[in-house]
Amino acid sequence: MSKAVIGKPAPAFTATAVVDGDFKSISLSDYKGKYVVLFFYPMDFTFVCPTEIIAFSEHVGEFKKLGVEVLAASTDSQFSHLAWINTPRKQGGLGEMKIPIISDNNHQISRDYGVLKEDDGIAYRGLFIIDPKGILRQITINDLPVGRSVTETLRLVLAFQFVDKHGEVCPAGWTPGADTIKPGAKKGRQDRKSRSAMSEVVTREYTINLHKRIFGVGFKNRAPRAVDEVRKFAEQQMGTKDVRVDTRLNKFLWSKGIRNVPYRVRVRLSRRRNDDEDSPYKLYTLVTHVPVTSFKKLTTVNVDSEE
């Protein structure tokens, strides 16, 4: 029976893992005070599993900047893990790993987390997000053939961290910088407040990672500066300092080799609701999305692929 329950302490464990090429005993309690992403996979030397594990390992730097530790686990032995790591990727191996891979050889961890496929003695593709207090905040369990998304896991971690810090809730599809909802708002009137969830650097890195997955190519070196230039230009054209730049790039621009132009500019303008100066709702917010092409004097630059 699964002991993993949302809002309750995550099941404790101690097990042998392969860490930086060596065997090491690790416990969940070792990571107290940090967020933990714990994901299970069925078996070593399979097909879908290495794509997931390598993806999480390659993006571990993004997780660590958010104070998140990533742990992988399966019911294979630590010796099988090490052999898989020592096998070159071109031959179906993992290669160098930047995350611990736990051996749940007696199946107890998988059973406690409710992902054990008892008949076969392997784990389903379960993913768990545990907060710094050791409380389980998110559970996802996939059937064996379908892998998980690193980008979505990052988004979920950012959302939980935002809620923990600000006390507001995140609607469907929320990403850093998007609107949130303040709990307790009167029915029919949602008090939304737009704010940056993390520092500009973290948000930018999340955005870059997202674009790599959507378009297969990332921002070039000049992209952050281009965003700043567009923001300043929009402020001048719109006559307001309250400008947000939507950094989604359309496929047409990408196909033409333009790598540093945001798709559109998001402008927030305040307008008086009524003439009653004492009214608590005297201002409302108008949000408009303005295509970058509407700024006639703004020139775009094709960035060389080697830059």
Active site (catalytic) residues? 49
Q: Do 123 and 74 contact (CB within 8 A), yes or no?
A: yes
Question: Which tokens in the block code for residue 297?
Answer: 């004097």
DSSP readout, 147-203?
Answer: ---HHHHHHHHHHHHHHHHH--B--TT--TTSEEE-TTPPTT---EEE--SS-HHHH
CA dist list (Å): 55 to 62, 99, 249: 12, 11, 24
